[in-house]
Structure formats: C-alpha cells, structure tokens
Amino acid sequence: MAVLLDDAKTVLAVEPNTEDLKLGIVGPYPEGSPEAVEVRAFFPAGRSGVEDPVTGSLNAGLALWLLRSGRLRAPYVASQGTAVGRAGRVFVDQDTDGTVWVGGDAVTCVRGEIAI
C-alpha cells in the first residue's frame, strides 16, 4: 500500500513508530526540481520497523499509479533514501505502448561465492 502526501517535505518529516508498518509514501517536489518525488518504504523486520533506502518494486508500482492517474509524466526521477542518509535515485520512463521502465545505479556492498 502507498499513500500520496502533499509534498516531499511532508514525506521527509514522517517519523513512523510502529513495527508492523508495511507502507510506501510519496510526495512531489516543487515544479522544476531535479527530482519529481520523494519516496519512502517501511517494512517490519523482527521486533522493529525498517526503512528501505531504495525500493525498485515500490517505485514500479508508484510509477504505474502516478503515470496512469496523470499526476506525473515520464521520464522522471524519484529520490529515495534521503531520510536514512542515502542519495538513491530511481529513473522512471515509459514507452509509447505504456510499458514502464524503472532503473538506477547500484553499489556492491557484499560479494561472495557459494562452493558446491
């Protein structure tokens, strides 16, 4: 589930206090900003709630909703992770047939191999 808030500033001010929260929130930046929206994603992990710094699946669902409802036009950039000290950027585009593309850069934090 996702909720559209008034603006990005309101999204960044949210302070969740529940461990069972499974929610995405989104709010627009002012016209002319480099990013179109600020996105945050909350989910439970054990006995506490966690905020995901960048969530491709949430951004894909938001893109379908915001593009189809006319709230946004592709291409656009979504900012996510700001509230947890990350500078995540999700790039959203749409083909002429309506296919939505969601992408971005990734940073490898852990690398390993499994020996069989």
Domains and CATH numbers, the chain: 2-103 (3.10.310.10)
Q: How far apart are CA 70 and CA 94, in angstroms?
A: 13
Position 81 scores a pLDDT of 94
Position 46 scores a pLDDT of 74
Structure tokens at 1: 């589930």
Question: What does DSSP assign to residue 50?
Answer: E
- pTM equals 0.88
Tell me the pLDDT band of 16, cut-offs 50, 70 and 90.
confident
Question: What does DSSP assign to residue 82?
Answer: G
Position 50 scores a pLDDT of 87
Tens digits of per-residue pLDDT, 36-93? 999 999 998 777 778 999 999 999 999 999 999 999 999 999 999 999 999 999 999 9
- Three-class SS of residue 29? coil
Beta bridge partners of 88: 80
